[in-house]
A = this chain, B = another copy of it.
Amino acid sequence: MSNYDVKQEVTDKYSLRGRVFNRLREDILSGKYAEHEELKEVAIGEEMGVSRTPVREAFRQLELEGLIQIIPNKGAYVTGITEKDVKDIYMIRSLLEGLCARWATEHITKEQLEEMEENVYLAEFHAGKGHLEQLAELDNRFHDILYEACDSKMLEHQLKDFHQYVLRVRKKTLSSTNRGPKSNAEHRGILEAIKSGDGDLAEKLANQHMINAYNNMVRNGLHEIYEQREKI
């Protein structure tokens, strides 16, 4: 995993709440819990070997992420995400990544630009060698650099949230198809647009980059992953 948001990761690793939160999110997104299924605090706690307190805190976060719905004095119910939700997220991300690329064009630092160039260069190398694991890693990092370069705390926060959200799905598709190299070429395009100071172009390319990623994902089995839950 990349060094995305170190503090958050430390939390996740060392605190029970973080572990519960991550695992529940993973389980919900991966479909372990059916839609509308009730999550009981003690049951989850026992399953993970912790008390109710960290479970409750994790619930509150999951609610804010929209993954569960908490009805006061009643219970927590899984919301889950449908195939359409994933599509919507990608459409939203498309717009926001575009805006991000535009802002990055204006605010990127020399260091960030250098890291981005190195990233793309390295990715081209690994793409040639077929190192899918490293490619996925570099892809994540590319977007993180872009998020940081836009110099907007709010936008960065939003995009990182979405990125996390779709990470599992995307990782699967990135390493199971030949999207890697194509994605990479698009990264270079965005990089060049930013370097040349063409914000309009950068936005347009970033827009399209997301849409391409989504289309590729649909072609390569998103359907299989989600169709089951869709019918519940």
List, in ascending order, chain B residues with CB within 8 A of A11's CB: 70, 72
Q: Please tell me the number of chain A residues within 8 Å of chain B, measured between CB atoms.
A: 36
Contact A152 B88 (CB under 8 A): yes
Please report the C-alpha to C-alpha distance between residue A69 and residue B155 in the assembled complex, in whole angstroms.
16
Q: How many copies does the complex hold?
A: 2
Contact A154 B85 (CB under 8 A): yes
Q: Which of B7, B85, B158 contacts A69 (CB 8 A)?
A: B7
Closest chain B CB from A82 CB (angstroms): 8
Please report the C-alpha to C-alpha distance between residue A81 and residue B63 in the assembled complex, in whole angstroms.
23
Tell me the A residues contacting B by CB distance below 8 Å. Answer: 7, 10-11, 14-15, 17, 53, 56-57, 60-61, 63-66, 69-72, 79, 81, 84-85, 88-89, 91-92, 95-96, 99, 152-155, 157-158
